[in-house]
Amino acid sequence: MEASSITKDTVKPTAKEAHLSVRNLNVHILKNHILKNIDIEIPDKSITCIIGPSGCGKSTLLKTFNRLLDKTENVTITGKVLVDNENLYEKDAEVTHIRKKMGLLSQRPCPLPMSIYDNIAFGCKIHGTRNKKKLDEIVEYQLRAVGLWKEVKDRLHVPANKLSIGQQQRLCLARGLAVEPAFILADEATSALDPISSKHIEELFVELKKDYAIVMVTHTLRQALRIADYVVFMYLGEVIEAGPAEQVFKNPRRELTKKYLEGAFS
Amino acid sequence: MNKKFSNRIFKDKLASGVMLGLTTLSLLLVVGIGIGLYLKSQPILEQKTLWTLLSTTEWKPSNGEFGFLPFILGTLWITGLAIVMALSIALLTAIYLTEYSKSSVKRFVFPALDILAGLPSVVYGVWGTLFIVPWISETLAPHFVEYATGYSTLAGGIVLGVMILPLLISLFVEIFSVVPDDLRNATLSLGATPWQTIKLVVLRKSFSGILAAVVLAISRAFGETIAVLMVCGNLPVIPGSVFDSCYPIPALIANNYGEMLSVPLYDSALMLAAFFLFIVVLVFNAGSRIILHRIER
Amino acid sequence: MRFIEEKIVKLFMIGATALVFVFVASILYTIIARGLPALNWDMITKLPSGGFYIGKEGGVLNAIVGSLYIVGASTVLGLLISIPVVFYINVYLPKDSKLAYIARLSFDILFGIPSIVYGAFAFTIMIYLGLRTSLGGGIIVITLLIIPIFIRSMDEVARQLPRELLDATYSLGATRLETMGVVVRQIAPGIVTATLLSIGRAIGDAAGVMFTAGFSDSIPTSFSQPAATLPLSVFFQLSSPSADVQDRAYASALILTIIVLILSVVGRFVTQKFSKNKI
């Protein structure tokens, strides 16, 4: 790190303080009520894990945070998702701007069909950064941030899909960070990875929560136990219980949560 | 019991043999067509070199002059025009259908494409003579040239372009829907607009597929006969502009097969033309199909 | 800036999609507007009389019947040949078989070969065998033309056949041949769409039958007599200098279009109906 000529301050993204709260959110697809009266607060600078059995709507909830549900056919969304007290679902809300604030890490790593360098530069380019030197700096900074720089610095211009799956996922994280989001949304982001890579991502999350609010969907309870600061438990489209990890895991208030944690169903 | 059992096994084996035979026979058809046309085109190749045939422009069968150049250029011109036109329309339409439109729009577009794909080429030919040809000669051409009949390279290109539209659109739609949604979501999450997502990621990802589809469409356009024949004027000269007549290879074969047996070497020349078509279509088709098969996996 | 680009491109896309409709509408309108006035009962019930091509009485019954003969016979032949091939590729051969790959590729290639090449090839064979243009020749060339269509579209359905279904039949002690009944029932919708597609292609083909079936003003009574077809009938009437005859060409084109449209509508209906009940 010291050897680098880059001073951290010039390129370090200023992660913005942001607050995310969900008010009375309902999602219907055709006649199916997918999300029911969701009311939660996502705290800043911490890791929030959404847990629950598969099909409980946790991924859908995550998708409402950056309006990726918009394109789904026959979907109706009511209620509010507030970021800094601005409703994402306001009529004249700027979708691309919202999405820029929300970095997404999907289940399978999904590198864009271009070089490692261009994957990270892509987001900056579409938002108008053309300066080559600036881009070089951003690419290096973000690759260092996810611990990938040493592994790829000599082959920045090979296609990104030549990397291993674990490396790809870190690349995707770096790509998301490069557009300076305020949140990181991770949809079972480690489920396709080997144990070492997945540990790597977890460590990165713990590191990154200093600057970002991280929301992750997971169905491995142990992962939530390891890194969650705050837990949201969902069942059949409803939030059953939400609160600090310590409290939810040790003294669940609801019977259903207790049963789920005990492994009665999954 | 045992006898009945072995009887069933025998039937199974027999059927297997017959089916293998049928499958192989149909495979041999490809080879058979190639060999048959090649043998029939031998007589003219014994008299003249391939290069003379391909590079000269005189077409006077009764004098024994067979210059294929005007026909080859005619085919290339018409196909080129058709592809340029169809490609742009098909790409835009396919992107709209896969990335933007609601399914209610698709409910109207796909049946319309079905109709376009199903119309016989002679109907396209009639449409061309009744609509495109007069439009060119009365409305379009007067802006550029003094006199045009309308039976022209351009008319052929337009009619052919409309004919290959449904093929291109349906291939493109298929290719775009193979691009994983995750990729789109990843790009959108970076704050890209839908069009940026398509331009920079979806199109790039499906480039080889688009190429294969275009090659396939070219090979389809190459062989189209009747519709083009009806609107392109059929003069064996090299077209000087898109408003001039031209004479593509399939039209040459179709127009002259009747008299080809009464002029020496004529039949061989026409079979050589068919052999050209066969080879071009074979190579283009095989290439693009192999690419498309790969993408599907 | 990028939002303006977004809007402009979207406008172009809608324009292109609209253009597709414009083409369809323009073709249908042209054919109907010019064909309908000339269409009458005589057109579809009478044979061409002596001076038909210079404007005298008659109809195109010869071409309608000729087309039906050729299409009917080649559809039956095509089905008989392609069902076993599809069955063989999908049931007998293992899933990743080389032969199956080559077979599929070959049928894709055959599908792409223009009908004029089929026609020219069949014509050389017929000359070699000393045959004249005839109904039989037309049937053979159209059969060759539609086999790849049959196989490709049936194969598409058959490939999605759940292997478990086959395994279930095997475990009842059935031989591979005896799974035929199950398989055919499963791919029935594929067979129907394939048949309609093939009929559409077969009835519209002109270049192939031009060489092989020839043309005739009477209805053929045996396989060795030449037969007229609708597309060629349109084509020949249109090349007549007389305006009356040209009008009849438009009417014939309308008849052909109506037949094809009916096939297309039925095809769509059948696929939708079947795809609902498919497992």
| Rounded Cα–Cα distance for residues A171 and A177 (Å) | 10
Do the chains contact at B92 and C12, CB–CB below 8 Å? yes
Same domain? For B26 and B149 the reply is no
Please name the amino acid found at residue A83: V
The answer to which of A2-16, C40-54, C65-79 has the lowest mean pLDDT is A2-16
Residue C21 lies in a domain: no
| Choice between A265 and A103, residue whose per-residue pLDDT is larger | A103
**Predicted confidence (pLDDT) per residue in B216-270, tens digit:** 899 889 888 899 999 998 888 888 888 989 999 999 998 888 777 778 888 889 9
Give the burial string for A141-174 (b: 16+ CB within 10 Å, else e). Answer: bbbbbbebbeebeeebeeebeebeebbbbbbbbb
Of B131-140, C219-228, C259-268, give the range with the top mean pLDDT.
B131-140
| Rounded Cα–Cα distance for residues B4 and A263 (Å) | 56
Same domain? For B213 and B286 the reply is yes
Do the chains contact at B183 and A112, CB–CB below 8 Å? yes
Do the chains contact at C88 and B271, CB–CB below 8 Å? no
Same domain? For B29 and B114 the reply is no
Banded pLDDT at A17 (limits 50, 70, 90): low
Q: For residue A8, is pLDDT > 50?
A: no
Confidence at residue C179, expressed as pLDDT on a 0 to 100 scale: 79
Mean pLDDT of C192-216: 87
Provide the sign of the torsion angle of the four alpha carbons B27, B31, B36, B37, taken in this order.
Answer: positive
- Non-local CB neighbours of B230 within 8 Å, separated by 6+ positions: B122, B125, B126, B128, B129, C235, C238
Do the chains contact at C16 and B89, CB–CB below 8 Å? yes
Do the chains contact at A122 and B200, CB–CB below 8 Å? yes
Q: Which percentage of chain C shows pLDDT scores above 90?
A: 28
Chain B stretch 43-82, residues whose beta carbon is closer than 8 A to a beta carbon of chain C: none
Q: What is the pTM of this model?
A: 0.86
Q: For residue C270, is pLDDT > 80?
A: no
Q: For residue B1, is pLDDT > 60?
A: no
Chain B stretch 121-140, residues whose beta carbon is closer than 8 A to a beta carbon of chain C: 121-127, 129-131
Q: Which of C253, C153, C143, C246 shows the shortest CA–CA distance to C197?
A: C153
Residue C1's SS3 state is coil
CA distance to partner chain B, nearest, from residue A119 (Å): 10
Same domain? For B144 and B8 the reply is no
Same domain? For B117 and B16 the reply is no
Q: Which of C43, C156, C52 shows the shortest CA–CA distance to B170?
A: C156
Question: Which of C3, C109, C204 faces B289 most closely, judged by CB atoms?
Answer: C109
How many CB pairs lie under 8 A apart between chains A and B? 64
Same domain? For B191 and B277 the reply is yes
Same domain? For B157 and B17 the reply is no
Pairing mode of beta strands B65-66, A86-87: unpaired
CA distance to partner chain B, nearest, from residue C221 (Å): 24
Residue C13 lies in a domain: no
**HEC string of A2-62?**
CCCCCCHHHHCCCCCCCCEEEEEEEEEECCEEEEEEEEEEECCCCEEEEECCCCCCHHHHH
- The chains found to touch A (3+ Cβ pairs under 8 angstroms) are B
> Token digits for A23?
């008010």
Mean pLDDT of A164-184: 90
Cα separation values, B202 from A163, A182, B177, B196, B223, Å: 20, 26, 10, 9, 31
Do the chains contact at B22 and C105, CB–CB below 8 Å? no
Mean pLDDT of B165-189: 91
Same domain? For B90 and B128 the reply is yes
- Non-local CB neighbours of C73 within 8 Å, separated by 6+ positions: C139, C143
Same domain? For B14 and B128 the reply is no
Residue C24 lies in a domain: no
Q: For residue C104, is pLDDT > 90?
A: no
Q: Give alpha helix (H) positions in A52-193.
A: 58-65, 95-101, 116-126, 132-145, 149-152, 165-177
Q: What's the residue count for chain B?
A: 297
Q: Which of A258, A190, A261, A245 shows the shortest CA–CA distance to A46?
A: A245
Q: Which of B288, B284, B283 shows the shortest CA–CA distance to B211?
A: B288
B290 touches chain C (CB under 8 A): yes
Q: Please tell me which residue of chain C has the smallest CA distance to B27.
A: C106
Confidence at residue B279, expressed as pLDDT on a 0 to 100 scale: 92
Interface with B, mutate which of C7, C8, C17 (most B CBs under 10 A): C17
Interface with B, mutate which of C121, C176, C248, C260 (most B CBs under 10 A): C121
Residue C129 lies in a domain: yes
State the DSSP H helix or E strand holding residue B267, giving kind and residue range, or none if neither. Answer: helix B266-296
CATH number at residue C208: 1.10.3720.10
> How many domains in chain B?
2
Q: For residue C166, is pLDDT > 60?
A: yes
Q: For residue A203, is pLDDT > 50?
A: yes
Confidence at residue A10, expressed as pLDDT on a 0 to 100 scale: 43
**Mean pLDDT, chain B, as a whole number?**
88
C262 lies in which domain range? 41-275
Q: Per-residue DSSP letters for A68-82? A: TTTTSTTEEEEEEEE
Q: For residue B64, is pLDDT > 70?
A: yes
Pairing mode of beta strands A47-51, A213-217: parallel
Residue C23 lies in a domain: no
Confidence at residue C266, expressed as pLDDT on a 0 to 100 scale: 85
Provide the sign of the torsion angle of the four alpha carbons C153, C156, C157, C161, taken in this order.
Answer: positive
Banded pLDDT at A86 (limits 50, 70, 90): confident
Instruction: Enumerate the residues of chain C whose CB falls inside 8 A of the CB of residue B115.
Output: 24, 28, 261, 264
CB B176 within 8 A of CB B94: yes
| Choice between A222 and B155, residue whose per-residue pLDDT is larger | B155
Q: Which of C158, C134, C99, C133 shows the shortest CA–CA distance to C220?
A: C134
B29 lies in which domain range? 2-47
CB A152 within 8 A of CB A179: no
Q: Please tell me which residue of chain B has the smallest CA distance to A105.
A: B186
Q: Please tell me which residue of chain C has the smallest CA distance to B286.
A: C109
| Rounded Cα–Cα distance for residues A115 and A125 (Å) | 14
CA distance to partner chain C, nearest, from residue B115 (Å): 7
Banded pLDDT at C127 (limits 50, 70, 90): confident
- Non-local CB neighbours of A72 within 8 Å, separated by 6+ positions: A29
Q: What angle do CA A14, A18, A20 make, to 5 degrees?
A: 150
Q: Helix C188-204 crosses helix C135-159 at what angle (to 10 degrees)?
A: 150
**Predicted confidence (pLDDT) per residue in A183-199, tens digit:** 999 988 888 888 888 89
Banded pLDDT at C93 (limits 50, 70, 90): confident
Q: What angle do CA C4, C8, C12 make, to 5 degrees?
A: 165
For residue C131, the 8-state DSSP code is P
Banded pLDDT at C254 (limits 50, 70, 90): very high
Banded pLDDT at B15 (limits 50, 70, 90): confident
Same domain? For B94 and B38 the reply is no
CB A176 within 8 A of CB A105: yes
Pairing mode of beta strands A183-187, A102-105: parallel
| Choice between A84 and C255, residue whose per-residue pLDDT is larger | C255
Banded pLDDT at C183 (limits 50, 70, 90): confident
Q: Which percentage of chain C shows pLDDT scores above 70?
A: 96
**Mean pLDDT, chain A, as a whole number?**
85
> How many domains in chain C?
1
Same domain? For B33 and B145 the reply is no
Residue C72 lies in a domain: yes
Mean pLDDT of C99-106: 86
Banded pLDDT at B123 (limits 50, 70, 90): very high
Q: For residue A2, is pLDDT > 60?
A: no
Residue C49 lies in a domain: yes
Same domain? For B246 and B201 the reply is yes
Confidence at residue C279, expressed as pLDDT on a 0 to 100 scale: 40
Confidence at residue C87, expressed as pLDDT on a 0 to 100 scale: 86
Residue C141 lies in a domain: yes
